[in-house]
Amino acid sequence: MRGCAMDRRRLSIGLVLEISVVAFEALSVATIAPKVARELGGIELYGWTFAAFMLANLVSVVLAGHASDRHGPAAPFTVGLVLFVAGLIACGAAPSMPVLIVGRVVQGLGAGTIGATAFVAIGRAFDEHERARQFALLSTAWVVPGLLAPAVAGIIADEVGWRLVFFGLIPLPLIAAWLTLPALRSLGSGVQMTEGVLPVGAAAQLALGAGLMVAGLGADEAYVAAPLAAIGIAVSIPAFMHLTPPGTLRARRGLPAAVAARGLQTFAFFGADAFLALALASVRDLSPVGVGVVLTPATLTWTAGSWIQAHRAGVWTRRSMATVGLALVAVGVVLMAAVLLEDVPVEAIAAVWGIAGLGMGLSYSTMSISVLSEVDAASQGAATAALQLSDVLGQALGTGLGGAIVAVAASGQGARKDALAIVFALMLFVAVFGTLAARRLPNDPAGLRASTVRSGS
């Protein structure tokens, strides 16, 4: 595949298209979620709208990564699109929040599979010098959705109804399949899978444990919350250690630090992003259109940051690029919390949240490149699966724990504004820890390091 420029070009276009489908869905749901929760009468389940989606990803990225090693990415990609469409239908027809959450689980299984095939394809089809550009292209896949999805979803929700937002997305995965599958089939099965059983059970165990933690923290009674959270932690930690490189929990230098920093990064950014939308709707009383407009600049600055890292990959070290990026996320979270001060204009909130988006662009792709450069082709499936598990777990716990805090306020044990302030403080704390973990990435220029096998990682 690397020797055929035409196939690589088609693959790049196909990957951008498939990620655009997921982007449209993610940005649309983030915009309409407050309205959906109000209409279905389940504000206490608001966080699960996002957490259920992400927890399902924990299982699907493992399945898709290892299935791609055995059979090539085309088959899991097809399965992922079928699940994604089924999830859209279930969400669009949902009569209640529990049914909506089931639909989000199915969507999460599909979206995780789609994302996993993209990482495997980049690892197989492009050499290390080209990967920075390919990851920047994937970020570009969020540009058009970033410009259109929040506003369009908001208008549809206001004028027609939020259900059409889900149903209206159904044709996009079908178009992506038509354009992408031929390029994915050309990759073949590629690398022979290493010995051992697929760690699907460990991934399911991790998802179960994370779900128990979030459910426990969201419980009203302390005698229910404490045991659930404790059981969730006990179930999650062994599974996480099995699925990630040794030393990830300590952010050991090299591959473990990159995996750890990714999880902390997504916890902080996506947790803050989800509850910024809720704050704009409930504290500032913005319509879905208004919420979408405020969230859009961060998507655009993320893309700008990705292209900056692609152009500077041979000059700036991975450590400095990732550290600066995580620091900008922390700055963005601090400044964005001013959304709770009603004297601060929402235009200012949109601008400062763009700082966090820029930081994500600089650091997100840098960590992906770092992971791929730490292993040889035979280990790319396992390494990228660990990275994506950390990515998805960070998003799930960030939104889930934030939802648990807000649920306490919804049950009358605290004011909504105070709960959101606590959520934003939590995201800042995690972003600072992510910055420290990024300091343990390799201190050499991104994209220029020879691939090596890291035994024991």
Report DSSP letters for 172-188, one per residue. Answer: HHHHHHHHHHHHHHTT-
- For residue 455, the model assigns a pLDDT of 32
b/e map 342-352, b = 16+ CB within 10 Å: eeeebeebbbb
pLDDT given for residue 77 in this prediction:
86
Rounded to 5°, the CA angle 42-48-52 comes to 140
Look up the CATH architecture of domain 5-198+244-438. Answer: Up-down Bundle (1.20)
Token readout for 68 is 């791609």
Distance, CA of 446 to CA of 448 (rounded, Å)? 6
- For 346-378, the pLDDT digits (tens) are 999 999 999 999 999 999 988 988 887 787 666
Interatomic CA distance for residues 288 and 369, integer angstroms: 36
**Contact by Cβ (8 Å): 361, 304:** yes
Tell me: the pLDDT tens digits for 234-269? 999 999 898 888 999 999 998 899 999 999 999 999
Query: Residue 68's pLDDT is what?
Result: 77
Residue 293 to residue 286: CA distance in whole angstroms: 10
Q: DSSP secondary structure string, 347-381?
A: HHHHHHHHHHHHHHHHHHHHHHHHHHHTS-GGGHH
Instruction: Retrieve residue 346's tokens.
Output: 């929402």
State the pLDDT at residue 305.
92
Domain ranges, ordered by start, for the chain: 5-198+244-438, 199-243
3-class DSSP assignment, residue 164:
helix
Report in angstroms the alpha-carbon separations of 300 from 42, 111, 138, 255, 355. 31, 21, 13, 29, 10
Q: With a cut of 50, which residues of the chain have pLDDT below it?
A: 1, 3, 193-196, 413-414, 448-457
- Contact residues for 421 (Cβ-Cβ < 8 A; gap 6+): 337, 340
Rounded Cα distance between 262 and 305, Å, is 16
